[in-house]
Amino acid sequence: MRASTVFLISGIGFFLLSFLGMGLAPWTSLKGLQPPPGYQVRTDLEEYGRQIFIREGCWHCHTQFVRPVVNEALYYEGPVSTAAEYLYEIPQLFGTRRVGPDLAREAGKKTDDWHYAHLYNPRSVVPWSVMPAYPWYFEEKDGKIVPKREAQALVAYLQSLGRDKLPVMRAMDSTYRATFSVGPRPPRTQDLLERGRELFLRECSGCHGPDGRARSLAARMLTPPPADLTVIHPTPEYVYEVTYLGIPGSAMPHFRRYTNEDVWAIAYYVESLYREPPLPPAAPEKTPELLARGQTLYGQMCSSCHGEQGFGDGPAAAPLKPAPANFRKLRPSVVHTFDVLTRGVPGTAMAAYAHLPEEDRWALAYYVEELSRGAESLTASLTPAGPEAPPSRPAPESPGQPEPSPKPEAASAGPEPTPELLARGKSVYAQVCLACHGAAGDGKGPAGAALNPPPADFTDTEWKHGGAPEAIFRVITDGVPGTAMAPFGHLPEEDRWALVYYVKSFSDPELRKLLK
């Protein structure tokens, strides 16, 4: 045989040796593998997202496996990857370089709106990021930046990565939360504040803005929007807690990997951002009477979520994500509370209370300010009729409080439904109920998604508390203890009747006709 033939055969032979020995043999040894429990095959949208992930070369900077080394399972908050997870991955996207973090455990780590803001421009939420922006997968509609189908697909794909490991990841997370405690507090030195500023600019300034005012690109894209840190005066402990734990149900991620000292630095710096906003001239003066009014209203409308004492621990609070504000820790300014009452917080269970008279809203805002200062301050400022001791909940009728307008039994006979009344009901519904119960009355409002028990669905004929107009009226007036349904006794009686008929109109064709 000629020498050149030998080399030709060796070229083919060594290829076959390599392919059979180190390619086909591993493949064979993986035969019979079953997908892990809870594994879901990707939907068409997720699959399309994967195609985009491939064609944009995302996989060149983001790997997709957690290694069994250097505590990566801890770092990426999910278990080490196994071959079974990749049974349907063709081509595999393990990746060979991590300019950005690994994505194998990305499911549920961030909210969809965070991903959209991040894809539109990564710097909008992660200021230090060097990731490319993908603005061509978004379009402007009515001044809003809306994801196109490609962006939706990409986010759906990202949220599918490692979702079969969600139970494990959630368990790891709850263990972390359960054992969390605020670490030793270093003295508040100038150096530490400087470090805090540096870290704030690095990690927080994307959403909250470099000045803390949250007038950022991300603020336009995130629901609920990032907090304006100049109008609230959170305690450093609270900032510390939120920085380490994030705010589930919002785009606020956690920054668990920073050291105790760094997180304190951030906490001190955020505290220093507070600039008490001046009261507008229209605001009434803070008087004991006004505060007493605020207390009454608070007891009726706010305490079921925010808790009697403002700790954010009301009976309806537990299922809410994000959790209702803890006023003792968040310490909102009066003006901010007033604004929130007027506008609500989109994407949360906090509805707008613009229907309340302005004076009532100011009363609540002053009362919340007193609450946030603690019980002593509260007793002192409520001199004429302060509560003796924190009453046990639910206690809408503490001694000395003015009566809420109508007593339930006074409502036994309501007005007849008229087209005007239904139209009125529709407009009140839009202000008060829509956030949770949804425009279609199906209980799928934007703020309702996280609630447990879920908001009532009015489109069926099932009424948990009775379908008679009187029974519905009672629920609106008194609320449902143990749920997010707050009492709305402060609404004028006519409005509540209007709501009764409007709510019934979702399932009652007769009433529906009246509406038209």
Partner 1 sequence: MSQVRPMVNGKLVRWSVYLSLLGILVPLLMALFMAHLLVWPDLNFGISWLNFGRLRVFHTNGVIYGWLGISFLAILNYIIPKLSNRPLISEKMAWAGLGFWTLGVAAGLVGILAGHMEGIEYAEMPWYADLLFVIGYVLASTTYLGTIFASREKHLYVSQWYFILGLTFTALNFIMANTIPMYVAPGAAGAAITGLWIHNAVGLFITPLGVGIVYYMLPVMLRKPIYSHLLSLVGFWTLAFFYPLGGAHHYFFSPIPWWVQILAVPLTAVLFVVVVTVVYNWLMTLKGDWHQVPKNPALAFVVTGIIAYMATCTQGPFQTLLTVQKVIHFTDWVVAHAHLALLGAFSFFNIGSILYLWPKVTGRKLYKPSLAWTSFVLLVLGFYVFYFLPITAAGLVEGYIWRSLAPFAESVIHAKPFWFTRVIGGYLIYAALLIFAYQLVMTVRKGEWIEEGAVEAATKESVLHARVFGSH
> Given the complex with partner 1, which of 61 and 423 has the nearer CB atom?
61
Q: Minimum distance from CB of 240 to partner 1 (Å)?
A: 16
> Given the complex with partner 1, which of 256 and 373 has the nearer CB atom?
256
What six digits make up the tokens of 73?
A: 């399972």
Q: What is the DSSP letter of 207?
A: H
130 binds partner 1 (CB under 8 A): yes
Q: Residue 365 half-sphere exposure, CB side, CA atoms within 13 Å?
A: 26
d(CA 176, CA 282): 47
Amino acid identity for residue 221 in this structure: M
Asked whether the beta carbons of 495 and 486 are under 8 A apart, the reply is: no
282 binds partner 1 (CB under 8 A): no
Q: Which residue is listed with tokens 């339930």?
A: 408
255 binds partner 1 (CB under 8 A): yes
Q: Minimum distance from CB of 195 to partner 1 (Å)?
A: 14
> Given the complex with partner 1, which of 202 and 407 has the nearer CB atom?
202
> Given the complex with partner 1, which of 97 and 464 has the nearer CB atom?
97
Please write down the HEC assignment for all residues of 145-188: EEECHHHHHHHHHHHHCCHHHHHHHHHHHHHHHHCCCCCCCCCC
176 binds partner 1 (CB under 8 A): no
Per-residue contact string for residues 191-230; x = within reach of partner 1 by CB under 8 A: -----------xx---------------------------
Binding segment for partner 1 (CB under 8 A), chosen from 39-47, 255-263, 286-294, 342-350, is 255-263
Per-residue contact string for residues 52-91; x = within reach of partner 1 by CB under 8 A: --xxxxxxxx-x-x-xxxxx--xx-----xxx-xxxxxxx
238 binds partner 1 (CB under 8 A): no
Polymer length in residues for the chain: 516
Amino acid identity for residue 289 in this structure: E
160 binds partner 1 (CB under 8 A): no
Q: Which phi and psi (to 5°) does residue 138 adopt?
A: -135, 160
Give, for 138, the enclosing helix (H) or strand (E): strand 138-141
Q: Which of 143, 257, 280, 285 binds partner 1 (CB under 8 A)?
A: 257
Centre a 10 Å sphere on the Cβ of residue 514 and count the other Cβ atoms it contains. Answer: 17
Binding segment for partner 1 (CB under 8 A), chosen from 99-107, 370-378, 379-387, 477-485, is 99-107
Which residues within the stretch 2-61 sit at the binding site for partner 1 (CB under 8 A)?
2-4, 7-8, 10-12, 14-15, 17-19, 21-23, 25-27, 29-30, 54-61
d(CA 263, CA 184): 11
132 binds partner 1 (CB under 8 A): yes
